[in-house]
Amino acid sequence: MEKFLVDIFGSEITAYIIIAIIPLIFIVPYALFAVWLERKVSAHMQDRLGPMYTGGWHGWAQTIADIIKLLQKEDIVPAAADKKLHLLAPYIVFIGSYAAFAAIPFSSEYIGSHLNLGIFYIIAVSSLVVVGLLMAGWSSNNKWSLFGAMRSAAQIVSYEIPTALSLLAVVMIAGTLNLQEINKMQSGWFWNWFIFSKFPFVFIAFLIYFVASLAEVNRTPFDIPEAESELVAGYHTEYTGMKFAMFFLAEYANMFAVSAIASAVFLGGWNSPFGDFMSGPIWGVFWFVAKGMFFIFVQMWLRWTLPRTRVDQLMYVSWKVLTPFAFFCIFAIGIWLML
């Protein structure tokens, strides 16, 4: 793809800028769609209809209207806030989640950057989100925000360990950290996907990854950093208008990022489940997005079904359940590979 773009524009810089912008072009409409989907999914689960009027068919334009409203809103910064940090925080959060897209292979022909350390890079760069959240919570000069920020910092940092360990299980089998390579190894029919290899250890690793990723993106049952019934709105209590929208965008971008990693690492990424049927670079995008959206749907499903856990229970799950099991999986797969 880079070659193709370099050929067209005759300049590497232009080509790379375009490559870098493509995920953004994807994320913004996707976030609009996902917000709308969340409202519809929750509504239908709860015997309601959700938005029905804006735009005509099933209120499809509702989130567009919401964004326009948010853009027009007054940008309120609390008088006692740390203004610089307060301004910067939402962008850092978004950068953290957006940077992860650089190493996500959308198709066999398109990946932002062919990194040999793809998975490693994603895990590392998405930690930047924590900095942004802490900044947001601290700078708002609001105790509830601070509670939320502290909770989310503790939560995200702890859950990175089971996440990384469960991904490591696959990396051991694949022998590479490059996501594009991992995807290529899973081509063919769906039984070639890593989730079914070394059964059941990778499957357990997948479950660990999924639970941990829910916590990393602050979704129910682990949405305690922004638990609206406890902390009002957590770290973004004091944000309004577009800055609030940035947090939202980052949250939905993050949701897709973790879903995309799940599908790339465990479920064959852009590979068609049925061998050569509907495969190829363009179909690859379709399969990749479809798998990602499926996980997003599952995340929504869980959110509107389960209650929320408590901080100490959350830590318990991370340190005493997920982490030991992830180690166990790595250990078992290691032995299997040696035999």
Residues of span 255-284 touching another protein by CB under 8 A: none
How many other C-beta atoms can be found within 10 angstroms of the C-beta atom of residue 50? 17
SS (H, E, C) 4-39: HHHHHHCCHHHHHHHHHHHHHHHHHHHHHHHHHHHH
Does the protein bind another protein through residue 143 (CB under 8 A)?
Answer: yes
Q: Does 230 bind another protein (CB under 8 A)?
A: yes
- Verify binding: residue 80, another protein, rule CB under 8 A: no
Residue placing its CB nearer to another protein in the complex, 10 or 307: 307
Residues 6+ apart with CB under 8 A from 272: 278, 279, 283, 284, 287
Binding test (CB under 8 A) with another protein, winner from 310, 324, 336, 337: 310
One-letter amino acid at 165 equals L
Q: Alpha-carbon dihedral of residues 30, 36, 41, 46, nearest 10 degrees?
A: 160
Residues 177 and 270 sit within 8 Å (Cβ to Cβ): no
Number of residues that bind another protein (CB under 8 A): 29
**Which residue's CB is nearer to another protein, number 134 or number 231?**
231
Determine which residue in the list 228, 275, 282, 331 makes contact with another protein, applying CB under 8 A.
228
**Tell me, what amino acid is at 183?**
N
* Nearest approach, Cβ of residue 246 and another protein (Å): 23
Closest CB to another protein among 165 and 208?
Answer: 208
Separation of alpha carbons 11 and 15, rounded Å: 6
Closest CA to 67 of 242, 250, 253, 251: 242
Residue holding tokens 């982490």? 323
x/- contact string, 36-75, with another protein (CB under 8 A)? ------x--xxxx---------------------------
Residue 309 contacts another protein per CB under 8 A: yes
Our finding on whether 224 is near another protein (CB under 8 A) is yes
Query: Residue 165 CB, nearest distance to another protein (Å)?
Result: 24
Asked if 311 touches another protein (CB under 8 A), the answer is yes
Residue 153: CB minimum distance to another protein, A: 13
Q: Is residue 82 within 8 Å of 89, Cβ to Cβ?
A: no
Residue whose CB is less far from another protein, 14 or 305:
305
Can you read off the two tokens belonging to residue 324?
A: 């030991």
Q: Which of 229, 277, 338, 339 binds another protein (CB under 8 A)?
A: 229
Interacting residues toward another protein by CB under 8 A? 42, 45-48, 143-144, 147, 151, 220-221, 223-224, 227-232, 304-313
